[in-house]
Structure 1
């Protein structure tokens, strides 16, 4: 049964995923307050109530929540146990559902195909760990999930998104490929075209979050999008951008020999690699609970429409790309 006119507190909410969630909530007729540190640009509508706080300070940083109640909370900015325990305990008894946005990086066996919600998790990080790195990110999120479930019980919902894509993405990972293919010409394409590419459109994540709140859905859900081969992905972006870019496929062994990895070729994961399962994430449970998908062509088109006028992060530079392609052609004779 859908619950109309909810009051929702979003922890975070001004950037990317949080921004899309706030916009989806407002579109659904719900009332939204955001709690942020006030350190990043805020382009949210005037209808959103702004509260200032800092969970890194523990309970002392959440004075703005005292005496307030909401129907639900969505936590998009909880990365450390200190942050999440502070908010979960401060809101105990004063909210209905607590939705925690986690990550598929919590899974211990990331080479599984497919990755499902009941798969083993990484060992949790200690609650005293506060530094978020590539090594601690997943274990910290595991601990945060446990805290939310401990404090909130049946009122907890955990969302585990895959790589999130779409307009306003500050990471630039998916956007790099859209922009590079839109630029045309020959470009370095990783693998042989048969590896998988799978992302979740931020707007699909946002709509599902609203569904969870409106229907008061408990549980844990992987959030992933349609699974394409890289060849299909390239064709999708060409269609979205009306481009004629030509891929030069470079196998994983050659990429490794050239010293190219995730930092130059974001989102690419060899299907048979140690993390290949992260591009084979099952979304069956979320689909049954109401997840819908944006057409991949639309995701690429909308991302390009946004990125065309927005400075993006640099990954594989044109000079380095040309150097590698020249080496590859030389080796192939």
Structure 2
């Protein structure tokens, strides 16, 4: 019989985070959720309230608790990583950080990018950058995640995994509005802004990434690992899937050289190689098979 684990989830009360928590609870794990108190976790879990940026408050909230696994859904900067590293040193047997495809520079190579393209052990960390400024953080999202990975990796306090997540699709609770952006423009005939060349990307389904994080929590490998479904998806394929859920119409593309472009209209490649996770035992789906259902879930029935 599987032994129940003590699991801490930092953040992650919505979208794939809430699905992850549901999987942990269903598996019989004793789950604690820590956030700033802006939203309540589901029944059956312990709720700790603290601002993770406040080291004293975080340490006081954790108290003397010890965890088998910490799943950190909301670590965006090296400062946050440094705080977490100090607070959880000696208090967890495994630390899984949700990272991002944005850590990669994505040069124009046609090859899918493996984890070794960015080794966190070689990434320079600068704690003095203005990480607390929202505009700076948004503009340096990938760099913040890279440096956070580096903090945990270069001076390890516990076995550490960084899950580099592809762009997530699916679910009727997708709060990003990215697919709705296309649905609105197809319905109204408004133009879809795209760069002169739009590159394909790898994606992952919202249920699949919840499965992946649950799986990663129970394994013993360390280091970065890519989480992406099999197959690349072009913008044409994505917008065709959106149009199929509507009563008619098609996207009208408008090319812009330097202006802001629509979601998923990528100026660079975002294709990740998922072979490490596959070798380790995770079975991914194919994006072309789950895409229609994911789009239908997000958009709901056409009115």
Please classify the TM superposition score into its range, dividing by the shorter chain length: 0.7 to 0.9
CA contact (8 A) 1:208 1:291 kept: no
Alignment coverage as a number of residue pairs = 290
CA contact (8 A) 2:193 2:256 kept: no
Cα deviation, 1:273-328, whole Å, max 9, x if unaligned, reads xxx222x222222233304237111211221239x89xxxxxxxxxxxxxxxxxxx
CA shift in 2, pair 1:242/1:60, >3 Å: closer
2:204 — aligned with what?
A: 200
Shift of 1:160: 0.9
Shift of 1:95: 1.2
1:223 — aligned with what?
A: 227
| 3-state SS, counterpart of residue 133 of structure 1 | helix
Q: Equivalent of 1:281, from 272, 278, 297?
A: 272
CA shift in 2, pair 1:204/1:178, >3 Å: farther
Cα deviation, 1:83-142, whole Å, max 9, x if unaligned, reads 222222211222111001111222234433322211146954412332343443222212
- What residue ranges of structure 2 are gaps of 5+ in the alignment? none
Shift of 1:210: 0.7
Q: Equivalent of 1:41, from 39, 42, 58?
A: 39
Q: Equivalent of 1:146, from 147, 150, 162?
A: 150
Shift of 1:61: 3.1
CA contact (8 A) 1:238 1:245 kept: yes
| 3-state SS, counterpart of residue 277 of structure 1 | coil
TM-score norm. by structure 2 comes to 0.82
Q: Equivalent of 1:245, from 246, 249, 261?
A: 249
| 3-state SS, counterpart of residue 234 of structure 1 | helix
1:160 — aligned with what?
A: 164
| 3-state SS, counterpart of residue 225 of structure 2 | strand
- What residue ranges of structure 1 are gaps of 5+ in the alignment? 271-275, 310-333
How many angstroms apart in 1 are the aligned matches of 2:92 and 2:58?
18
CA contact (8 A) 1:68 1:94 kept: yes
Shift of 1:235: 2.8
CA contact (8 A) 1:162 1:199 kept: yes
Shift of 1:145: 0.5
CA-based RMSD: 3.0
CA contact (8 A) 1:160 1:221 kept: yes
| 3-state SS, counterpart of residue 56 of structure 1 | coil
CA shift in 2, pair 1:118/1:76, >3 Å: same
Larger Rg: 1
Residue 296 (1) aligns with residue 291 (2): yes
CA contact (8 A) 1:98 1:152 kept: no
Q: Equivalent of 1:117, from 112, 115, 118?
A: 115
| 3-state SS, counterpart of residue 34 of structure 1 | strand
CA contact (8 A) 2:35 2:52 kept: no
CA shift in 2, pair 1:28/1:119, >3 Å: same
TM-score norm. by structure 1 comes to 0.75
| 3-state SS, counterpart of residue 118 of structure 1 | helix
Shift of 1:157: 0.7
1:71 — aligned with what?
A: 68
How many angstroms apart in 2 are the aligned matches of 1:178 and 1:96?
45
CA contact (8 A) 1:7 1:30 kept: yes
1:31 — aligned with what?
A: 30
1:212 — aligned with what?
A: 216
| 3-state SS, counterpart of residue 295 of structure 2 | helix
How many angstroms apart in 2 are the aligned matches of 1:178 and 1:47?
37
2:53 — aligned with what?
A: 56
How many angstroms apart in 2 are the aligned matches of 1:57 and 1:154?
21
How many angstroms apart in 1 are the aligned matches of 2:193 and 2:76?
33
| 3-state SS, counterpart of residue 112 of structure 1 | coil
